[in-house]
Amino acid sequence: MDLSIPLTGRRVLVIGTAVSARRVVARCAVEGADVRLVPAHSLPPLTGRFRRPAADLVVWVEGDTGIRARLEQECRRLGIWFTAESPVTPVPRGHVTLVGGGPGDPDLMTVAGRRALADADVVLFDRLAPREDLERWAPGAELIDVGKTPGHHAVPQHEIEALMVHHALRGLRVVRLKGGDPFVFGRGGEEVAACRAAGVPVSVVPGVTSAISVPGSVGIPVTHREISRSFTVVSGHAPFSENELTHLAGIGGTLVVLMGVNTLPHLVAGLRRNGMGAEVPLAIVERGFSESQRTTVTDLGGVLAELGRVQPRSPAVIVIGEVVRQRPGGETAWDTEAARAVAAFAS
Ligand code: SAH
């Protein structure tokens, strides 16, 4: 069971030490509680003046089990909520966890990713990582935005790797939070290699990649029985060579392009030159899973004119292939908060 109690303005008594209860205290504080931390051996009385309970909630983290049993009983008698949380245990060595944050919707982050964040001392996050709820998900962690600095320049890759390793070698738990999946154009492989080279233990939590989920969010499946039995994911970051274009045009199935807005005219011209028909449908899905998500559906013959009209911008996923016709007219397939609210209102 995963219960949560609104803590704003509540008096929370945490039993443990500054180290063992660090995360619980930070989480309660972030949620606006009035937190007091005491060690088990110097517990204050649970009732104050006129015998009113002196706390709304007691959180047990660490201490003598006999004291715990008595405290729990006393809480029950006084009608005070009692709960227990596991203590933070000091680690001899720090470690790094690469976490795939998914395509932007907080609901699409994995449970393992959320656990790693809850446990983190330092979080290095990217431009495309889900960042809205980070303070709540990683209470007590230092949050470092490596996607951009005040000058709007991203922190260079070698500096990100140096930061990760530096904090881990200080004995801290570092989470490197990335958009989508860490191993899909995410430079995750390089970051794992940097940790290994420095002797830092590293693990990877996969994420929902935008390559599949962003088309899916507008009802475009990357494969479809009898229509497409493969999909090829490419980066349009740099223009393709003629040889690559020949192969891409002949490979069949669905072509999914990330980071491809700027090089799209070059790609389309190359595919056409190598025999792909003008009628092959193409979709551009910008800012997937955000309120300003926009989908443009056209075909290889019409895309250049359409680009001038809609002026798509990054981040966007481009899908080329017959599967684009599966998209239901206008509506989104992902049940967004807004869609749920409208459905509830209409029923
Ligand atoms: N590791 C990421 C991809 C990183 S490359 C993943 O697995 O999703 C960054 C590119 O991903 C962007 O330029 C864009 O093409 C795509 N992208 C990521 N999130 C997106 C989103 N929410 N909407 C549209 N495109 C997205």
The 3-state secondary structure of the chain, one letter per residue = CCCCCCCCCCEEEEECCCCCCHHHHHHHHHCCCEEEEECHHHCCCCECHHHCECCCEEEECCCCHHHHHHHHHHHHHHCCEEEECCCCCCCCCCEEEEEECECCCHHHCCHHHHHHHHCCCEEEECCCCCCCCHHHHCCCCEEEECCCCCCCCCCCHHHHHHHHHHHHHCCCEEEEEECECCCCCCCHHHHHHHHHHCCCCEEEECCCCHHHHHHHHCCCCCCECCCECCEEEEECCCCCCHHHHHHHHHCCCEEEEECCCCCHHHHHHHHHHCCCCCCCEEEEEECCCCCCCEEEEEECCCHHHHHHHHCCCCCEEEEECHHHHHCCCCCCCCCCHHHHHHHHHHC
Catalytic residue positions, numbered: 126, 148, 259
> Does 314 score more than 80 pLDDT?
yes
pLDDT in tens, 193-206: 999 999 999 999 99
pLDDT at 172 > cutoff 90: yes
* pLDDT tens digits, one per residue of 240-250: 999 999 999 99
Domain 211-335 has CATH 3.30.950.10: yes
Atom of ligand 1 nearest to the CA of 104: 22
> Residues with beta carbon inside 6 Å of ligand 1?
103-104, 128, 178-181, 184-186, 209-211, 214, 258-259, 285, 287-289, 314-317
* Domain boundaries defined on the chain: 11-84, 95-208, 211-335
Domain 95-208, classified CATH 3.10.180.10, yes or no:
no
Query: In the prediction, which pLDDT does 331 show?
Result: 47
**Class for domain 11-84, per CATH?**
alpha beta
Whether 339 shows a pLDDT value over 70: the answer reads: no
pLDDT tens per residue across span 127-162: 887 888 899 999 889 999 998 655 667 789 999 999
pLDDT, residue 344, reads: 57
Q: Where does the pLDDT of residue 225 fall: very low under 50, low under 70, confident under 90, or very high at 90 and above?
A: very high
